[in-house]
């Protein structure tokens, strides 16, 4: 127990000297600034309708319509491939559009353009969701940033600290110390887990709001804990097996680009690829997002698989560490 | 020139630099080689309904304007509408018309579509007489595809900073930086050599990517080349600063990561979400990558009228950073 | 060639690394700079090679103050072998040398392959990346890099470190050859055998001060107790006697029987060093 507390203290000091906490704090500031100053203000407006009507053939005060003074101005306004132009200059009125590249979207733009001329208005529609746009945006992006931080950025920070120990050769020194490899790994896991959980609580509190956070945090902390342990163990195995940090960063690049991108794409756009169900990160991502939206908890199978993966990775990390300790040179 | 050859050889054998060089090219090739993946379809309106609820005419009408997915029951439909990843509009039959329900967290565009959909359906028979002129998109045009191509190209341009920064950090780690200090080489020669490395890497990677996935007119090529060169030069200056001030590989990789996020995210966000004549959009030119991004988007969408403005802004950024870098490096 | 007068240097206010070193190194001389770790050897070499600025006192090389001599011309005349083999790990030995040679005027640089041959570098590794080399091979390439420009003044920091005994002998031979060509050599080392065999003069440095400076032979003579130890056999019994060398001018002051061996009690260079500095080189 005494050995474990010394290891814990040493790991904490390593993280402090490696500016791990400072980087995590900077990430927190960067993410929060982006969420509050940019993301929650994002909006996708309706298709603009421009009318060029010098002879006032249409009603002047229709909703959703913008005036264009000339055909040239109309064409310029429609260059964004989303706007619909209606030209009343000639005898026969003309709908002018630049194709968006999708026939269906163009068709909708056309009927929308025609409809607004007839004085269409918004009607109250039943809503079935629990959140408004801002609440949804805050929860969604917080979950995504947290996933990104834990699976990619935090993973990099963790590995950088492990590589420092490896370069100094102290991993090998631990091989001949009267301390079990599992304790060596456990102390690291504890420190990283604590750091990640603190990060989760702060990111959620700042960006979702304190009162909502109380509802979200139990589930979010559980998912963050699972992800943190898995990524920390993968990072540890990689640090022990890969010869240098450069090779690790290559691996990281591949991981970030090819493994997390499809998950994000699916999460952000609603694309559903069948093969995605075999992507382990997809399940972790979905569980994290569900935690932020109060959706029903993941299945028992999910937790059993996560636990199994953590145990397996832990054994793998112990093995990798033994191998590193025995390595020469 | 001979020195540059060996330096290039050195970075060519660096796996990280090689991957950095090849990654945009591979992604560019993938974007090009996947014609079956219709990116534009991702932007189409999504409707959801319950199996057997809508009449055939209703379904056809909805399918003309977007994608219709049928769910087994209302509960499933509601769950899909509520999924935060989607902007799905739930549609149910209400007599001879349509009834819509939304999640309540949609963008204004989808809320408006939902709220006006029943009226649009009612008015479907109105036959106002209009002629129609739709300028077709070029064969290659796909808004989303263009966006992905531009993101890939901008990544390739600004990845130029990886080549020289990694080279300089590698020199520090191998101790060659100490040897450099006793070589008959002045600081200017050294800086020029490192800038050339970044520029060559960035330009070559971007042009190779552009060759694979950009189809433009011959007269637009000069603009593309100037845009790529200026951006690569800027990235190379960034790489020089990272290489000079980073204490080690880990710090360097961290810096590159932050730079890539700062260079890539703002122009994408501003391009997608702010009108081109807004103050926010204009302010986004403070990010050097914005001019490159908007310039390339314009080039791919056939709106090249602002090319001089984009080149001018990039040039101004490059001059400013050259002065700052010079002061920072010589002061240290 | 080198003239240092009251050379001082501080890394920070509290820690002064050099306390007024004064020495000269003549043309074609091999000058040894000996001291334990942290004594100021590397700092001195960095000042002499123009890497460290902001020193006190004066240091001139080729008759010019180093602080103002950091020109292309200055660096064309010096060659430096650092304590560790600093090379581009992704390039081969030949590529490294050709790259570094490209900084010197065409007529000045030596042929990389011939130089490596002279340093008995394994041919099969000529085109392989440095990352695959052993420590000894890297040291050979490093030495070749220091020599490639035919320098007039050569700084060598632990040249035989990481070499096997035959490699060390080869390096000493090459250093001798350089001296014969007229190259001045500033040798920083821990290795007493290197210093003793190669140096015309050595300076002992400890705590940033020069404790002694002279030819190794003279230093040893100065510190000798002028005694010999004679082992002899008398009545079948081995005995030992210590006598002053002055006593040898006459006949042996004792009946020796059969003399087995005579050992001069001249100190080693390391003994002399400890005597002057109060500590060993490895400390």
pLDDT digits (tens, 9 = 90+) for A153-198: 667 767 777 777 777 777 777 767 777 778 888 888 898 899 899 9
Both tokens of residue B86? 């989607």
Rounded-to-integer distance, Cα B149 and Cα B141, Å: 11
CA distance B142 to chain A (A): 5
> Sign of the CA dihedral A143, A148, A151, A156?
negative
3-class DSSP assignment, residue C231: strand
Average pLDDT score over residue span C209-216: 88
A19, closest residue in chain B (CA to CA):
B251
Query: B250 and A163: CB-CB below 8 Å?
Result: yes
Task: List the CATH code of the domain at C2-220.
Answer: 3.40.50.300
Q: What is the mean pLDDT of residues C64-74?
A: 83
* 8 Å CB contact of B184 and C73: yes
Q: Which two tokens stand for residue C103?
A: 């900084």
Distance in angstroms (rounded) separating the CA atoms of residues B114 and B107: 11
The pLDDT of residue B127: 63
B32: left (phi over 0), alpha (psi -120 to 50) or beta: alpha
Question: Any idea which residue has 């979010």 for tokens?
Answer: A220
Q: Domain ranges in chain C?
A: 2-220, 225-265
Q: What is the C-alpha to C-alpha distance for residues B54 and B61, in angstroms, rounded to an integer?
A: 11
A176-180: list long-range contacts, CB under 8 Å, 24+ apart.
A176/A325, A178/A3, A179/A3, A179/A7
Tokens standing for residue B251: 């710090």
Extended beta strands in chain B, E state = 45-50, 66-71, 89-94, 97-102, 131-135
Where residue B138 falls among pLDDT bands split at 50, 70, 90? low
- For the cut 60, the answer to whether the pLDDT of residue B37 exceeds it is no
**Do residues B72 and B51 make contact, with C-beta atoms less than 8 angstroms apart?**
yes
Name every chain B residue with its beta carbon within 8 A of the beta carbon of A271. Answer: 42
Q: Which residue of B has its CA nearest to C71?
A: B184
pLDDT tens-digit readout, C230-261? 888 888 888 888 888 777 777 766 666 778 88
Q: Flag whether pLDDT at A259 surpasses 70.
A: no
Chain C partners of B179 at a C-beta cutoff of 8 Å? 80, 82, 86, 100, 145
Kindly state the average pLDDT of the residues A270-279: 73
Helix (H, G, I), strand (E, B) or coil at C226: coil
Q: Biggest alpha carbon distance in chain A?
A: 95
Bridge partners of C114, per DSSP, are none
pLDDT at residue B290 above 80? yes
pLDDT band at A313 (very low <50, low <70, confident <90, very high): very high
Which of A166-170, A221-225, B99-103 has the highest average model confidence (pLDDT)?
A: A221-225
Confidence check: pLDDT of B148 > 60: yes
Q: Which of C215, C204, C191, C277 has its CA nearest to residue C26?
A: C215
Give whichever of A153-162, B221-230, B250-259, B263-272 has the largest mean pLDDT: B221-230
Chain-chain contact of A81 with B143 (C-beta, under 8 angstroms): yes
Are the Cβ atoms of B102 and A126 closer than 8 angstroms? yes
Question: For residue B280, what pLDDT band results from cuts at 50, 70 and 90?
Answer: confident
Shortest Cα distance from B258 to chain C (angstroms)? 27
Q: Touching check for A59 and chain B: CB below 8 Å?
A: no
Nearest to B269 among A38, A117, A160 (CB): A38
Q: How far is A187 from chain B (nearest CA, A)?
A: 23
What's the pLDDT band for B158 if we cut at 50, 70, 90?
A: confident
Question: How far, in Å, CA of B219 to CA of B227, rounded?
Answer: 14
- Put simply, the chain A residues between 174 and 233 with a CB less than 8 A from any chain B CB are none
Strand stretches in B14-111, DSSP E = 45-50, 66-71, 89-94, 97-102
**Residues of chain B contacting A96 with CB distance shorter than 8 Å:** 133, 135
The predicted pLDDT at position A246 comes to 72
Q: What is the model's pLDDT at position B107?
A: 87
Q: What is the pTM of this model?
A: 0.72
How far, in Å, are A240, B159, B187, C51, C72 from residue C87 at the CA level?
Answer: 26, 25, 20, 18, 21
Quick one: tokens of C26?
A: 């003549």
Beta bridge partners of C153: C78, C184
Chain B residue nearest residue A102, CA to CA:
B40
| C-beta atoms of A97 and B135 within 8 A | yes
Length of chain B: 332
H or E element, residue C81 = strand C78-81
**pLDDT at position A249 over 80:** no
Do β-strands C30-34 and C56-61 pair in parallel, antiparallel, or remain unpaired? unpaired
Q: How far is A2 from chain B (nearest CA, A)?
A: 32
Contacts of B126 in chain A (CB under 8 A): 114, 118
Select from A209, A227, A206 the least CA-distant residue to A153. Answer: A227
User: CB distance C76–B184 less than 8 Å?
Assistant: yes
Q: Give the helix ranges, DSSP H, for A38-148.
A: 71-77, 103-117, 133-148
Q: To probe the interface with C, which of B183, B187, B332 has the most C CB atoms within 10 Å?
A: B183
Inform me whether the C-beta atom of residue C98 falls under 8 Å from chain B C-beta atoms.
Answer: yes
> Chains with 3 or more CB pairs closer than 8 angstroms to B?
A, C
Using the Cβ of A152 and the Cβ atoms of chain B, whether some distance falls under 8 Å is answered with no
Examine chains C and B and say if they touch (3+ CB pairs below 8 A): yes
Q: How far is CA B203 from CA B211, C225, C254, in A?
A: 12, 74, 90
What pLDDT band is residue B312 in, cutting at 50, 70 and 90? very high
Q: Do B184 and C103 touch (CB under 8 A)?
A: yes
Residues from chain A contacting residue B124 (CB–CB below 8 Å): 111
CB < 8 Å to B79, chain A: none
For residue C190, CA distances in Å to A295, B51, B238, C16 come to 70, 88, 43, 22
Q: Which residue has the tokens 């002998």?
A: C169
Q: What is the pLDDT of residue A308?
A: 96
Supply the DSSP string of A230-254, one letter for each residue: HHHHHHHHHHHHSSSHHHHHHHHHH
- The pLDDT score that the predictor gives to residue B42 is 66
Task: Out of C84, C87, C90, name the one closest to residue B13 (CB).
Answer: C90
Task: Give the span between the Cα atoms of C13 and C23, in whole angstroms.
Answer: 25
Q: Does residue A120 surpass a pLDDT of 80?
A: no
Per-residue model confidence as pLDDT tens digits over C34-63: 888 888 888 898 899 888 888 889 999 988
Instruction: Pick from B13-17, B184-188, B326-330, C97-101 the range whose average pLDDT is largest.
Output: C97-101
Residue of chain C nearest B12, judged by CA positions: C90
Q: Which domains does chain B have, with CATH numbers?
A: 2-35+142-331 (no CATH), 39-125 (3.40.190)
Give the SS3 label for residue B263.
helix
Instruction: Judge whether C166 is closer than 8 Å to chain B, CB to CB.
Output: no
Q: Give dist(CA C7, CA A171) in Å, integer.
A: 43
d(CA C251, CA C262): 14
In the block, residue with structure tokens 């969701």:
A129
Query: Quick check: B185 and C103 CB within 8 A?
Result: yes
Given the DSSP bridges, would you call strands C227-234 and C258-264 parallel, antiparallel or unpaired? Answer: antiparallel
Q: In the beta sheet, which residues pair with residue A97?
A: B134
Chain B residues inside the 8 Å CB shell of A267: 85
Contact A278, A214 (CB under 8 A): no
pLDDT band for C116, please (50, 70, 90 cuts). very high
- Sign of the C-alpha dihedral computed for residues B203, B267, B86 and A142 taken in this order: positive
Q: Cβ distance C203 to C29 under 8 Å?
A: no
> What angle do helix axes A245-254 and A154-168 make, rounded to 10 degrees?
160
């Amino acid at each position: 127990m005494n050995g474990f507390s010394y290891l814990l203290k040493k790991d904490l000091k390593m993280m402090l000297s490696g500016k791990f906490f400072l980087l995590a704090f900077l990430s927190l500031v960067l993410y929060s600034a982006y969420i509050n100053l940019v993301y929650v203000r994002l909006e996708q407006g309706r298709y603009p309708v421009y009318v060029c009507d010098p002879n006032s053939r249409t009603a002047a005060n229709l909703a959703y319509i913008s005036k264009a003074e000339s055909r040239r101005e109309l064409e310029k306004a429609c260059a964004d491939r989303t706007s619909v132009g209606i030209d009343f200059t000639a005898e026969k009125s003309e709908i002018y559009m630049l194709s968006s590249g999708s026939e269906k979207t163009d068709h909708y733009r056309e009927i929308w353009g025609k409809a607004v001329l007839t004085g269409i208005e918004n009607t109250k529609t039943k809503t079935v969701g629990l959140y408004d746009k801002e609440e949804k945006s805050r929860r969604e992006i917080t979950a995504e940033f947290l996933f990104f931080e834990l699976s990619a950025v935090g993973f990099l920070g963790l590995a950088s600290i492990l590589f420092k120990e490896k370069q100094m050769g102290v991993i090998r020194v631990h091989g001949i110390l009267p301390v079990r490899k599992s304790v060596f790994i456990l102390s690291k896991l504890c420190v990283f887990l604590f750091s990640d959980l603190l990060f989760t609580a702060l990111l959620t509190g700042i960006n979702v709001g304190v009162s909502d956070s109380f509802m979200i945090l139990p589930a979010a902390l559980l998912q963050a804990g699972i992800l943190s342990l898995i990524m920390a163990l993968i990072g540890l195995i990689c640090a022990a097996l890969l010869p240098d940090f450069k090779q690790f960063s290559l691996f990281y690049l591949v991981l970030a680009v090819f493994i997390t991108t499809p998950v994000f794409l699916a999460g952000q756009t609603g694309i559903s690829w069948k093969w995605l169900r075999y992507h382990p990160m997809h399940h972790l991502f979905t569980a994290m997002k569900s935690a932020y939206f109060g959706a029903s908890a993941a299945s028992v199978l999910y937790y059993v698989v996560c636990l199994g993966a953590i145990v397996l990775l832990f054994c793998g990390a112990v093995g990798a560490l033994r191998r590193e300790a025995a390595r020469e040179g | 020139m001979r020195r540059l050859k060996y330096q290039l050889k050195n970075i060519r054998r660096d796996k990280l630099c090689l991957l950095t060089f090849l990654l945009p090219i591979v992604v560019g090739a993938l974007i090009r080689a996947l014609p079956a993946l219709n990116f534009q379809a991702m932007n189409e309106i999504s409707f959801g309904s319950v199996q057997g609820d809508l009449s055939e005419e209703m379904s056809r009408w909805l399918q003309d304007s977007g994608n219709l997915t049928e769910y087994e029951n209302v509960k499933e439909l509601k769950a899909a509408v509520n999924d935060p990843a989607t902007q799905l509009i739930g549609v149910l039959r209400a007599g001879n018309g349509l009834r819509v329900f939304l999640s309540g967290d949609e963008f204004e565009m989808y809320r408006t579509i939902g709220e006006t959909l029943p009226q649009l359906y009612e008015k479907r028979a109105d036959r106002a007489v209009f002629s129609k002129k739709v300028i077709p998109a070029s064969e290659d045009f796909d808004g989303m595809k263009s966006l992905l191509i531009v993101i890939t190209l901008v990544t390739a341009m600004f990845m130029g900073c990886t080549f020289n920064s990694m080279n300089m950090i590698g020199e520090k780690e191998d101790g060659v930086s100490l040897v450099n200090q006793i070589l008959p080489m002045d600081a200017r020669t050294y800086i020029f050599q490192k800038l050339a490395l970044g520029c060559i890497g960035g330009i070559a990677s971007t042009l190779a990517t552009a060759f694979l996935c950009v189809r433009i007119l011959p007269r637009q090529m000069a603009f593309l080349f100037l845009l790529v060169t200026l951006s690569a030069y800027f990235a190379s200056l960034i790489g020089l600063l990272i290489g000079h001030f980073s204490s080690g590989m880990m710090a360097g990789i961290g810096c590159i990561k932050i730079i890539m996020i700062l260079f890539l995210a703002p122009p994408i966000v501003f391009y997608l979400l702010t009108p081109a004549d807004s103050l926010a959009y204009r302010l986004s030119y403070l990010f050097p990558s914005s001019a490159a991004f908007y310039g390339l988007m314009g080039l791919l969408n056939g709106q090249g009228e602002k090319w001089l403005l984009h080149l001018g802004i990039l040039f101004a950024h490059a001059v400013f950073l050259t002065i700052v870098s010079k002061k920072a490096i010589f002061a240290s | 060639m080198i003239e240092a007068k009251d050379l001082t240097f501080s890394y920070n206010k509290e820690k002064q690394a050099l306390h007024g070193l004064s020495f000269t190194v003549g043309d074609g001389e091999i000058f040894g700079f000996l001291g334990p770790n942290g004594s100021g050897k590397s700092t001195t070499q960095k000042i002499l090679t123009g890497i460290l600025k902001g020193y006190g006192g004066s240091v001139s090389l080729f008759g010019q103050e180093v602080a103002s001599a950091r020109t292309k011309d200055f660096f064309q005349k010096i060659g430096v072998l650092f304590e560790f083999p600093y090379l581009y790990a992704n390039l081969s030995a030949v590529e490294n040398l050709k790259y570094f040679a490209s900084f010197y005027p065409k007529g000045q640089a030596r042929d990389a392959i011939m130089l490596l041959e002279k340093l008995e570098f394994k041919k099969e590794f000529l085109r392989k990346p440095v990352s695959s080399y052993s420590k000894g091979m890297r040291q050979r390439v490093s030495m070749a890099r220091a020599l490639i420009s035919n320098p007039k003044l050569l700084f060598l920091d632990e040249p035989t470190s990481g070499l096997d005994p035959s490699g060390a002998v080869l390096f000493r031979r090459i250093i001798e050859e350089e001296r014969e060509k007229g190259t001045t050599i500033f040798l920083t080392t821990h290795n007493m055998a290197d210093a003793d065999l190669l140096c015309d003069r050595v300076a002992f440095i400890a705590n940033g001060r020069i404790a002694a400076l002279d030819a190794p032979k003279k230093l040893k003579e100065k510190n000798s107790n002028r005694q010999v130890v004679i082992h002899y056999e008398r009545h079948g019994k081995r005995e030992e006697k210590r006598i002053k060398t002055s006593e040898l001018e006459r006949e042996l002051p004792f009946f020796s029987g059969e003399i087995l061996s005579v050992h001069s009690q001249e100190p080693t260079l390391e003994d002399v060093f400890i005597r002057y500095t109060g500590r060993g080189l490895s400390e």
